[in-house]
């Protein structure tokens, strides 16, 4: 690494001290206690997080002061660790260390995904399809490629520790396993071909799903053999927008069957429950049933497949209740079940317009809270790509959620 200026180095060390101070504060210890209680289904209160990553470009650059390229990279990391707590006041956990996860990769069927973007740096994009006809192109499905770059991972730990390790140590940390088979397939096959293949080539479709499922299981087994599975029982990331805090999984483990797993299947929103049960669920079930605890769902509504599929999982601990999900149905279905109601409100509240429609926010959040009085409830705001550079709008949004929870939960 190119020698860092003393000025940049001091800036990073000051930020590290600030993070360590917040991480060890009574306030942060209470947040951690509340996460553990919520995940243990004995909640003290509903939990609230804002996913910063999608609009970080409107927040983090203005916080940067370093001049060197490498220093600015580390500074951006530290500022991102602090931003939610300092600027928004949500329940994002500030750690007294820098987590570094193993640099692993998984390339389904060995096919590199390609995208055409509407404009450089833009969000809009199209995946370049490789499979135009499943039967005719089936031989293009090769063996999945996967591995772990241990050298790069350890270099990252050493790099961070050489600058701030005596204040805020970097250390290898676990994270939930991630398995999204239908997303993998859509990235190499158009949505239209994906749906039509179930009708035109059902046997090939099942074979494709079966192969990908086995590849995921082999990938996880490889991570275990390589000693790269770490516990997920504290502040480790769990998709999406939430944390692993639990006493139900071992604090020391190298077995993936004793960790958290995240899965979703947004791409199948157009399938009937019967078709999901036939073509998708058997393969998801083969993976999910082996994990320690499962967090399921993103934007797809889960109510259509709850009774026939998801309710079967005894290890399901969190389920996503998206803006397209029937809240009333899911509140009733989860009554008395050991599952966290993980609500993801509409991103339009803070992602559209320069001002916050407070009455609309109160109406939406209040309805969710009333449906889930006394149960483990999380609010995670995702998929916001702009806040119109209005940080106060996000902070006020969090305040309103807390006010509604305090008055109705």
Per-residue pLDDT tens over the stretch 193-210: 999 999 999 999 999 999
**Burial class of residue 341 (count of CB atoms within 10 Å of its CB; 0-12, 13-18, 19+):** buried
Residue 118: per-residue pLDDT: 79
Helices 6-23 and 150-164 sit at what angle, rounded to 10 degrees? 90
Helices 281-288 and 202-225 sit at what angle, rounded to 10 degrees? 10
* Residue from 127, 117, 123 nearest 193 by CA: 127
Residue 110: per-residue pLDDT: 97
* Residue from 138, 233, 261 nearest 188 by CA: 138
Residue 116: per-residue pLDDT: 85
pLDDT tens, N- to C-terminus, the chain (409 residues): 578 999 999 999 999 999 999 999 999 999 999 999 999 999 999 999 999 999 999 999 999 999 999 999 999 999 999 999 999 999 999 999 999 999 999 999 999 998 888 777 667 788 889 999 999 999 999 999 999 999 999 999 999 999 999 999 999 999 999 999 999 999 999 999 999 999 999 999 999 999 999 999 999 999 999 999 999 999 999 988 899 999 999 999 999 999 999 999 999 999 999 999 999 999 999 999 999 999 999 999 999 999 999 999 999 999 999 999 999 999 999 999 999 999 999 999 999 999 999 999 999 999 999 999 999 999 999 999 999 999 999 999 999 999 999 989 9
User: pTM here?
Assistant: 0.95
Residue 315: per-residue pLDDT: 98
Angle at 230 between CA 224 and CA 234, to 5 degrees: 150
Residue 298: per-residue pLDDT: 96
- Please say whether the beta carbons of 297 and 322 come within 8 A: yes
Angle at 354 between CA 352 and CA 355, to 5 degrees: 100
- Please say whether the beta carbons of 134 and 189 come within 8 A: yes
Residue 334: per-residue pLDDT: 97
Q: How far is CA 227 from CA 129, 156, 221, 249, 328, in A?
A: 35, 18, 10, 18, 44
Residue 121: per-residue pLDDT: 67
């Amino acid at each position: 690494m190119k020698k860092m200026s003393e000025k940049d180095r001091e800036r990073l060390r000051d930020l590290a001290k600030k993070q360590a101070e917040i991480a060890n504060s009574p306030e942060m210890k209470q947040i951690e206690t509340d996460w553990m209680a919520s995940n243990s289904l004995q909640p003290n209160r509903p939990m609230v997080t804002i996913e910063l990553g999608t609009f970080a470009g409107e927040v983090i650059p203005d916080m940067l002061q370093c001049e060197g390229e490498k220093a600015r990279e580390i500074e951006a990391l530290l500022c991102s660790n602090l931003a939610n707590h300092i600027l928004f006041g949500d329940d994002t956990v500030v750690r007294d260390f820098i987590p570094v996860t193993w640099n692993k990769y998984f390339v389904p069927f060995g096919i590199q995904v390609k995208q055409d973007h509407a404009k450089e740096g833009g969000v809009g994009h199209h995946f370049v399809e490789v499979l135009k006809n499943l039967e005719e192109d089936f031989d293009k499905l090769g063996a999945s490629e996967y591995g772990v770059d241990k050298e790069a991972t350890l270099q990252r730990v050493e790099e961070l520790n050489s600058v701030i390790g005596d204040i805020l140590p970097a250390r290898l940390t676990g994270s939930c396993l991630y398995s999204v088979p239908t997303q993998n397939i859509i990235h190499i096959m158009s949505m239209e071909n994906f749906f039509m293949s179930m009708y035109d080539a059902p046997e090939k479709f099942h074979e494709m799903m079966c192969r990908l499922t086995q590849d995921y299981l082999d990938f996880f087994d490889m991570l275990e053999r390589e000693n790269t599975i770490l516990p997920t029982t504290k502040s480790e990331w769990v998709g999406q927008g939430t944390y692993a805090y639990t006493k139900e999984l071992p604090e020391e483990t190298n077995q993936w069957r004793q960790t958290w797993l995240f899965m979703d299947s947004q791409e199948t929103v157009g399938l009937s429950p019967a078709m999901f049960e036939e073509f998708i669920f058997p393969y998801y079930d083969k993976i999910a049933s082996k994990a320690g605890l499962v967090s399921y769902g993103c934007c797809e509504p889960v109510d259509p497949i709850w009774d026939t599929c998801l309710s079967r999982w005894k290890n399901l601990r969190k389920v996503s209740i998206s803006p397209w999900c029937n809240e009333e149905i899911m509140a009733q279905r989860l009554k008395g079940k050991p599952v966290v109601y993980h609500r993801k409100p509409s991103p339009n509240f803070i992602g559209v317009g320069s001002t916050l429609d407070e009455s609309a926010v109160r109406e939406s959040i209040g309805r969710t809270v009333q449906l889930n009085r006394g149960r483990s409830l999380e609010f995670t705001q995702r998929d916001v790509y702009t806040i119109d550079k209005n940080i106060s709008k996000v902070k006020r949004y969090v305040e309103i959620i807390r006010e509604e929870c305090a008055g109705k939960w």
